[in-house]
């Protein structure tokens, strides 16, 4: 891993000085990824820059309402390479899901992110694991570079914050998070219609799939681990092409007496994507063991293997980390008479 530098001021200089930028984020982009990309593109456009936003896949349906979402396109074939590559909300460059070697060849790569697992892949890095969202990190750049946010930018940043805090439920929500959200609301955006677009934009197949997934819920012996599965068979049963199950974990976290919640999604016959949430153990550490990462309380990884094997391995690993957390420390432990 590279040295953990904070190049924020050099990033600001670069945004001011360079003429052209390519912005991207991780594949299967979340609200923070899309919100941050769009906010950053508005910021650069206001500075008179040439800006292209590209992702490896399409904008999720529930984020297509965001101002500027129609300027995001798929794929990285470009007629002319911009001078600077900016990655937002992306812990490592492979997560773009695109031609990462070509992306690495940019002379200037700006990495703005809040994942604790970020590997500082940029030539310029600004990583703040205390920030609740990448949007929260981008917000002050508007003040510094263009004197503040406009309404359309506020909608993008608010969506970043709303989604990454789990609608202000998660422990990452700080006074600063609400202060920024309040400021964004003062720009005239409508929190109710944003929430409706982000969380209510699904069809019947998606809700059928949720029902099937929730019916699969299991608890560990002591009731501290809860998990649900989404299998290929469930996708077929629910009908349609509905693949959008990544937020199903929110239906089993938080949950009474549960310390760790898991969502296991079959990507294909040989790969299972695991999402973690916890209020006790460091799930970033667990996810990193399996090549993933994220945040201390929310993380994910993709594991090779069939569902039954992955399920066994992951539940056992989580159980061990819960047991370790609760075990009295051998060193310095007190003995009672
Ligand atoms: Mn994020």
Give me ligand 1 centre to Cα 166, in Å. Answer: 11
**CA distance linking residue 211 with residue 206, whole number of Å:** 9
Say whether 304 sits in a helix, a strand or coil.
Answer: strand
DSSP, res 150: -
Residue with tokens 């769009």: 38
pLDDT (0 to 100) of residue 241: 66
Give me ligand 1 centre to Cα 236, in Å. Answer: 31
Specify the range with the lowest mean pLDDT, choosing from 33-47, 64-78, 95-109, 228-242.
228-242
Interval 163-200: pLDDT, tens = 999 999 999 999 999 999 999 999 999 999 999 999 99
pLDDT (0 to 100) of residue 156: 98
pLDDT band at 337, cuts 50/70/90?
very low
**CA distance linking residue 182 with residue 14, whole number of Å:** 29
DSSP, res 25: -
Region 105-124 average pLDDT: 97
**CA distance linking residue 287 with residue 164, whole number of Å:** 18
Of residues 129, 103, 130, 105, the one with CA closest to residue 118: 129
pLDDT (0 to 100) of residue 258: 98
Of residues 183, 197, 196, the one with CA closest to residue 150: 183
Count the alpha carbons within 13 Å of 182 in the hemisphere toward its beta carbon.
6
Interval 33-84: pLDDT, tens = 999 999 999 999 999 999 999 999 999 999 999 999 999 999 999 999 999 9
Q: Pick the residue with more confidence: 133 or 326?
A: 133
Torsional sign, CA 120, 122, 128, 132: negative
Give me ligand 1 centre to Cα 171, in Å. Answer: 14
**CA distance linking residue 189 with residue 157, whole number of Å:** 11
**CA distance linking residue 23 with residue 36, whole number of Å:** 10
Domain boundaries, the chain: 8-198, 207-326
Count the alpha carbons within 13 Å of 64 in the hemisphere toward its beta carbon.
11
Give 53's strand partners: 23, 72
DSSP, res 328: P
**CA distance linking residue 327 with residue 320, whole number of Å:** 10
- Same fold for the pair 8-198 and 207-326: no
pLDDT (0 to 100) of residue 335: 45
Give me ligand 1 centre to Cα 337, in Å. Answer: 50
Q: Say if residue 1's pLDDT is above 90.
A: no
pLDDT band at 2, cuts 50/70/90?
confident
Q: Say if residue 336's pLDDT is above 60.
A: no
Give me ligand 1 centre to Cα 170, in Å. Answer: 13
How much is the mean pLDDT over the chain?
94
pLDDT (0 to 100) of residue 326: 85
Give me ligand 1 centre to Cα 125, in Å. Answer: 15
Give me ligand 1 centre to Cα 4, in Å. Answer: 19
Region 97-106 average pLDDT: 90
Q: Say if residue 293's pLDDT is above 60.
A: yes
Give the other-Cβ count within 10 Å of 269's Cβ.
10
Q: Topology of domain 8-198, per CATH? A: inorganic pyrophosphatase (n-terminal core) (3.90.1640)
Give me ligand 1 centre to Cα 177, in Å. Answer: 13
**CA distance linking residue 89 with residue 138, whole number of Å:** 11
Q: What are phi and psi of 195, to 5 degrees?
A: -60, -40
pLDDT band at 330, cuts 50/70/90?
low
DSSP per-residue codes, 85-130:
EEEES-SSGGGG-S-HHHHHT-SEEEEEE--TT----SSEEEE-TT
Give me ligand 1 centre to Cα 334, in Å. Answer: 42
Give me ligand 1 centre to Cα 335, in Å. Answer: 44
Give me ligand 1 centre to Cα 133, in Å. Answer: 5
Give me ligand 1 centre to Cα 29, in Å. Answer: 10
Q: Topology of domain 207-326, per CATH? A: Diaminopimelate Epimerase; Chain A, domain 1 (3.10.310)
Give me ligand 1 centre to Cα 160, in Å. Answer: 7
Give me ligand 1 centre to Cα 103, in Å. Answer: 21
Using only C-alpha atoms, the chain has a radius of gyration, in whole angstroms, of 21
End-to-end CA gap in the chain: 48
pTM of the model: 0.91
pLDDT (0 to 100) of residue 261: 98
Contact at 8 Å (CB) between 255 and 169? no
Q: Say if residue 262's pLDDT is above 50.
A: yes
């Amino acid at each position: 891993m590279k040295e953990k530098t904070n190049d924020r001021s050099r990033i600001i200089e670069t945004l001011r000085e360079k003429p052209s930028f390519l912005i991207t984020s991780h594949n299967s982009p979340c609200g923070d990824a899309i919100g941050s990309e769009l906010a950053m593109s508005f910021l650069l456009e206001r500075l008179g820059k040439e800006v292209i936003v590209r992702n490896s896949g399409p904008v999720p349906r529930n984020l297509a309402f965001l101002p500027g979402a129609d300027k995001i396109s798929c794929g990285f074939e470009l007629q002319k390479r911009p001078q600077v590559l900016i990655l937002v909300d992306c812990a490592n460059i492979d997560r773009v899901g695109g031609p990462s070697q070509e992306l690495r060849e940019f002379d200037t790569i700006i990495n703005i992110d809040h994942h604790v697992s970020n590997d500082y892949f940029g030539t310029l890095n600004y990583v703040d694991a205390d920030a609740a969202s990448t949007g929260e990190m981008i917000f002050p750049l508007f003040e510094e570079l263009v004197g503040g946010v406009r309404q359309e930018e506020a909608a993008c940043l608010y969506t970043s914050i709303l989604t990454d805090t789990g609608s202000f439920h998660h422990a990452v929500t700080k006074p600063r998070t609400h202060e920024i959200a309040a400021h964004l609301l003062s720009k005239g955006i409508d929190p109710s219609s944003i929430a409706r677009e982000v969380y209510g934009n699904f069809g019947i197949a998606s809700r059928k799939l949720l029902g099937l997934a929730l019916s699969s819920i299991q608890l560990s012996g002591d009731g501290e681990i809860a998990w649900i599965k989404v299998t290929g068979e469930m996708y077929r049963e629910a009908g349609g092409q509905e693949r959008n199950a990544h937020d199903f974990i929110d239906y089993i976290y938080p949950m009474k007496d549960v310390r760790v919640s898991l969502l296991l999604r079959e990507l294909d016959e040989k790969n299972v994507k695991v999402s973690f949430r916890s209020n006790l153990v460091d799930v970033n550490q667990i996810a990193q063991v399996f090549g993933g990462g994220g945040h201390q309380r929310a993380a994910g990884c993709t594991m090779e293997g069939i569902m039954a094997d992955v399920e066994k391995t992951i539940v056992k690993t989580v159980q061990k980390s819960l047991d370790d957390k609760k075990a009295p420390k051998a060193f310095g432990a007190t003995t009672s008479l």
